[in-house]
Structure formats: structure tokens, C-alpha cells
Amino acid sequence: MRDDILWELQADKVKDYLRRSQRLDGRALTDYRPFTLQLDFSKNAHGSCRVQLGKTDVIVGVKMDVAEPYPDTPDEGSITVGAEFTPLASPVFEPGPPDQNATELARVVDRCIRESKALDFKKLVIEEGSKVWFVFIDIYVANDCGNLFDASSLGALGALLNTKVPKLEDGKVVKGEYAGRLEVSKMPLLTTFAKIENSIVLDPALDEEKAMDARLSIGTTEERLISAMQKGLGGSFKQAEIEQCIDIAFEKSEELRDGLRKALKG
């Protein structure tokens, strides 16, 4: 309750600043907060990555498992993205199955990766029609200080780039042995904007999220292609605003990609 009032005051301050084109934390409107990446965070995962974007903290792990293909795509494996807003991450999250916010997050991260064709699902076939790889990407939000979309998408891509394919013997996974890296041919990432009154800011921090009317996430690849879009919340965007966001997304997502490339080199 009291918390709500504090956030409201903070949101008012965010708006005041933005009317002067300033952000409370001093960033330019299209700046990302500083971020760090920790690849291979979990040894039991086949791939994993912890992302800290400002104070937002997200841990993503990948497990590959053998399963039957979907009946309508017998010659394809697939990915499955899950997201859990753990109760560690915020005083308002509660333990329990994913709510609609977590479901939306997981599905948008899924589309950003899936539609970019960074993973060739046909290469995930082990035995056509009966055995394929399923790539489970599970996102755990450990601290929510805003912009879970970009942090999760970055973590998911990091975890995939870090993924080793388990070794198979007689169609069964041999524990702890690997047959090489998962092939990830592109670097699709989400870039998220908040619309606050008439301003648009990139990578909204938590107080900016409390002030925002609408949210726009754009999935892009390094080839300057769009792989996903998602508008959220009760506000609206104009066509010109969206077009501008697309350009910024192409540009600013490269900073995340560079960070990732650096982390991969060690």
C-alpha cells in the first residue's frame, strides 16, 4: 500500500524529468543501462547465462531433451520458452504458476528467437518422425528493476550460444557427455521502449515502468531484420513513433550483441 504511493510519487518525478527530456538516472533517452553477462552459470544446464541489466537480474538455463516431434512437423525439433517471476524478484510476486505477465514474456522471447530462424529446427531431428531435440529455455527473474523483456531475451540468447548438445547413445542422452555446441546462426534480441506521456525511452527502469502508458518490444537481428514485435499495456503508439523505435532497435541492440560477443570470447 505505502509502497504504491511511493511508486506513484517516483512516477511523477520520472514524468517531470521527461518533460525536460531527462531521465532520473541521467541516461539519454535511448541509452541502455550498464549490463553484465555470466555465461555457464549453471553446470547442470546444457547452456546458461545470468544477465544483470542495471539492477535487474535474470538467470536463464537451457536443457535439451529427446522427444517425439509434433505430428504436423515430423521433420523438425522445437524450442519451448518458460518464464518464472520468482518471488525473490519483487515484493509483489507470489509463488505459483506463471501469471499472464510471465506468459507474455516467455512467448515474446520465444517468437523473437523462433522467427529469426537462429535455430534451424530441421537440424534438431534425430530420427525423422519419431525423435527430435526439444530445446527448453527457462527464464528465472531473480530481481525485477525494469525491462525484463530485454534482460530475458539477452539471457536466452546467451544461454543458447553457450549450449552444448548432449551425446546420444541408442537414442538416449548420455549424462555429462556432449557432442558439440548447439548451432545458433543469428543473434536475435529484443529492444524495449516505454512510452511515458509524449516521450519514448529505451530500456525502462522500474520507476519508468511505473510511469509508462505503453510498451513496445522489437525483436531484431544483426542483419537489420525484424523478427518480433509486441505492444503492451493500455496506451498507444503512432506509426511514426514505431518506425523511429525500429531504427533505434537496429542500432542499440548491437551494443548488447557486442557485450555478448565479448563474453563469448571469455
Sequence-ordered list of residues with C-beta below 8 angstroms from that of 156, at least 6 positions apart, any chain: 49, 60, 81, 109, 113, 137, 139
Contact between 31 and other proteins by CB under 8 A: the answer reads no
Cα(159)–Cα(145) distance, integer angstroms: 21
CA distances from 69 to 66, 119, 122, 134, 164 (A): 9, 16, 11, 8, 21
Considering only residues 247, 258, 261, 262, which one is a binding residue for other proteins as defined by CB under 8 A?
247
Helical axes 239-265 vs 148-161, angle rounded to 10°: 40
SS3 assignment, position 39: strand
Strands 78-85 and 131-143: parallel
Contact between 195 and other proteins by CB under 8 A: the answer reads no
Contact between 176 and other proteins by CB under 8 A: the answer reads yes
Q: Least distance from C-beta 259 to other proteins, angstroms?
A: 21
Considering only residues 17, 121, 136, 193, which one is a binding residue for other proteins as defined by CB under 8 A?
136
CA distances from 230 to 40, 161, 237 (A): 29, 24, 12
Quick one: 72 or 169, whose CB is closer to other proteins? 72
Q: Least distance from C-beta 260 to other proteins, angstroms?
A: 19
Quick one: 128 or 247, whose CB is closer to other proteins? 247
Quick one: 17 or 138, whose CB is closer to other proteins? 138
Indicate the DSSP class of residue 122. G
Contact between 46 and other proteins by CB under 8 A: the answer reads yes
Number of residues that bind other proteins (CB under 8 A): 69
Contact 159, 38 (CB under 8 A): no
Contact between 149 and other proteins by CB under 8 A: the answer reads no
Q: Least distance from C-beta 51 to other proteins, angstroms?
A: 13
Quick one: 146 or 265, whose CB is closer to other proteins? 146
3-state SS of 152-190 is HHHHHHHHHHCCEEEEEECCEEEEEEEEEECCCCCCCEE
Contact between 61 and other proteins by CB under 8 A: the answer reads yes
Quick one: 247 or 265, whose CB is closer to other proteins? 247
- Residue 194 exposed, middle or buried by CB count within 10 Å (0-12, 13-18, 19+): buried
Quick one: 31 or 93, whose CB is closer to other proteins? 93
Q: Which chain residues interact with other proteins by CB under 8 A?
A: 41-46, 48, 55, 57, 59, 61-63, 65, 71-72, 82, 84, 86-91, 95, 97, 100-101, 103-104, 106-107, 111, 114-117, 136, 138, 140, 142-145, 175-176, 216, 221, 224-239, 242-243, 246-247, 250
